[in-house]
Every structure is written in structure tokens, then in C-alpha cells.
């Protein structure tokens, strides 16, 4: 008679995510601001030995503990994506920041349970900050509760546009509308923007063309802090989403931002 597999609790998975992040961060930090060969992928995005080694440490820790889990990693590919639990890894989110000595690079770890993000972790190795979200629990920043702002009006909102140079080139209408309607518009880069939103420091984050390893970890963090994060159609983000992301501090603000996108 076969014994049914017992799935680990979300708390156990979250604890392992934090442990893996802290251990793997030592690898990325050991290379930070040190000479590195920079290679370029097919999409012209940079990658280094630090990216690859950091992800390998994450994979080794996860699969040692849970060899039956799936992995979707940016640098070393995918395995077991049909399994009940899949880890989604971006070892260095912000390689351009990393290679230019900017400490705003991060690490993203998401745990999908039956295809849905159940745990999300944003770790900032050079800043010593960790944002973690778990379904049905408040999100935390270095063990302190997170809460998005209460802003509901675009005219009062601070908006970060992710890689705004690309937005300005591809969708100048959205760039201009956000600039015109929001109180303050700034260029945003990489995952720290979403930690700032979860902490209530900014109110809107908008970005286009992200990959699952860029956005899956953001979902539990934003939602657990009281915010809303979807695609540009207002639909829940999923691993097969196009990757156009809108995150807002409140449902009211999110609806108004959607209207700006589609006006």
C-alpha cells in the first residue's frame, strides 16, 4: 500500500526560503564590487559567475531538503514544473545594479503550491533587508509587520515606473499618463521597488515584460501587506502571464491606475 506524500507546512517552506536566501547571499556578496567577467544572454541582459553560483547554492539547499520539489530558476533552468510545490528563483534580481557596484540588487524566491504563489521573499543582500509574504498572513520586513499606504487618489500617489526608459520607448502614452496624473513619478529598478510599496513608502509600481522569476515572489509580499498586484488587465498574475505588472497600495488606487493604462 502506497503512503501518501505529506506536504510541508507553509511555515516550514518559509523558514527554508529565508535560510537559503541568507546562505546564498554570502556567495553574491563575495563577488560584489570585485572583478567579474560579464557575459550577455540572447536578450542582451548581463549574467555573471555570481548569478550562476548563487542560484546553484539555492537549488542545492532546497533539493537537499525537498528532492521531490520542482525548480524554476533563471540561470539553471527548470525541472519538475508539474509537481505540487515549485520554487521560483532569481538569484540576483538587478544584475545591472550588481555589476555597477550599486547595492540595490536583490534575490527573489517564490514557492508555488499547485501553481499559485504561496510564499514570496525579497532579500536585499547588501542592505541586510528581507521582505517575506505568506498567504493568509501579514507580510514582514526584518520580522516587523508591513502595511501599504492608504492612498486612493492618483493625484496623491508616488509612482515608480520600472525601467522607465523602456516604458518611454515602448509605451510613451502610459509613461506620460502616469507622470501627468500622479503626484510624484520616479524611475524604479529591480525588486526593491516592491518592498518599498509593501512598506508604504510608495503607492504604485508599474512595469512591463517581466518573467515569472521576476514577479512570482512579489505577489505574496504585496498582498500580505494589504496591496493589490495584477497584470495590466487586472487579472491575477500566474507563471504564464505576459509579465506586465501593476501593483498598488489600495484597491481604489489600483482601479484608477488600470483606467489610466486603458484610456
Query: Where do we find the cell 504563489?
Result: 117
Q: For the residues of 51-119, what is the DSSP string, one character each?
A: HHHHHHHHHHHHHHH-TTSEEEETTTEEE-TTSSEEEEEEEEETHHHHHTT-TT-EEEEEEEETTEEEE
Annotated binding residue 240? no
Q: How many CB atoms lie within 10 A of CB 252?
A: 14
Annotated binding residue 60? no
CB 95, CB 46: distance < 8 Å: yes
Q: Is 75 exposed, middle or buried (0-12, 13-18, 19+ CB in 10 A)?
A: buried
Query: Where do we find the cell 505529506?
Result: 6
d(CA 135, CA 40): 36
Annotated binding residue 92? yes
Euclidean distance between the first and the last CA atom of the chain, given in angstroms as a whole number: 60
d(CA 177, CA 13): 41
Annotated binding residue 74? yes
Nearest residue to 121 (alpha-carbon basis) of 91, 97, 101: 91
Binding residues for Mg(2+), by number, are 74, 90, 92-93, 214
Binding site members: 74, 90, 92-93, 214
Amino acid at each position: 500500500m502506497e503512503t501518501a506524500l505529506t506536504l510541508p507546512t507553509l511555515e516550514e517552506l518559509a523558514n527554508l526560503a529565508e535560510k537559503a536566501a541568507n546562505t546564498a547571499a554570502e556567495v553574491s556578496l563575495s563577488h560584489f564590487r570585485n572583478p567579474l567577467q560579464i557575459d550577455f544572454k540572447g536578450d542582451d541582459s548581463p549574467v555573471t559567475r555570481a548569478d550562476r553560483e548563487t542560484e546553484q547554492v539555492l537549488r542545492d539547499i532546497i533539493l537537499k531538503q525537498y528532492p521531490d520539489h520542482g525548480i524554476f530558476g533563471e540561470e539553471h533552468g527548470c525541472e519538475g514544473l508539474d509537481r505540487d510545490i515549485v520554487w521560483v528563483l532569481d538569484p540576483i534580481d538587478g544584475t545591472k545594479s550588481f555589476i555597477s557596484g550599486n547595492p540595490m540588487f536583490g534575490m527573489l524566491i517564490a514557492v508555488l503550491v499547485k501553481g499559485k504563489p504561496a510564499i514570496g521573499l525579497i532579500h536585499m543582500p547588501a542592505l541586510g533587508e528581507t521582505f517575506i509574504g505568506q498567504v493568509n498572513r501579514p507580510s514582514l520586513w526584518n520580522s516587523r509587520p508591513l502595511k501599504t499606504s492608504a492612498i486612493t487618489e492618483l493625484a496623491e500617489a508616488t509612482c515608480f515606473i520600472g525601467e522607465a526608459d523602456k516604458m518611454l520607448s515602448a509605451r510613451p502614452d502610459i509613461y506620460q499618463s502616469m507622470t501627468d496624473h500622479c503626484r510624484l513619478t520616479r524611475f524604479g529598478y529591480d525588486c526593491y521597488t516592491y518592498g518599498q510599496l509593501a512598506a508604504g513608502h510608495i503607492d504604485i509600481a508599474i512595469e512591463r515584460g517581466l518573467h515569472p522569476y521576476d514577479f512570482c515572489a512579489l505577489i505574496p509580499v504585496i498582498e500580505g501587506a494589504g496591496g493589490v498586484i495584477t497584470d495590466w488587465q487586472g487579472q491575477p498574475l500566474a507563471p504564464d502571464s505576459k509579465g506586465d505588472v501593476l501593483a498598488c497600495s489600495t484597491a481604489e488606487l489600483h482601479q484608477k491606475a488600470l483606467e489610466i493604462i486603458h484610456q
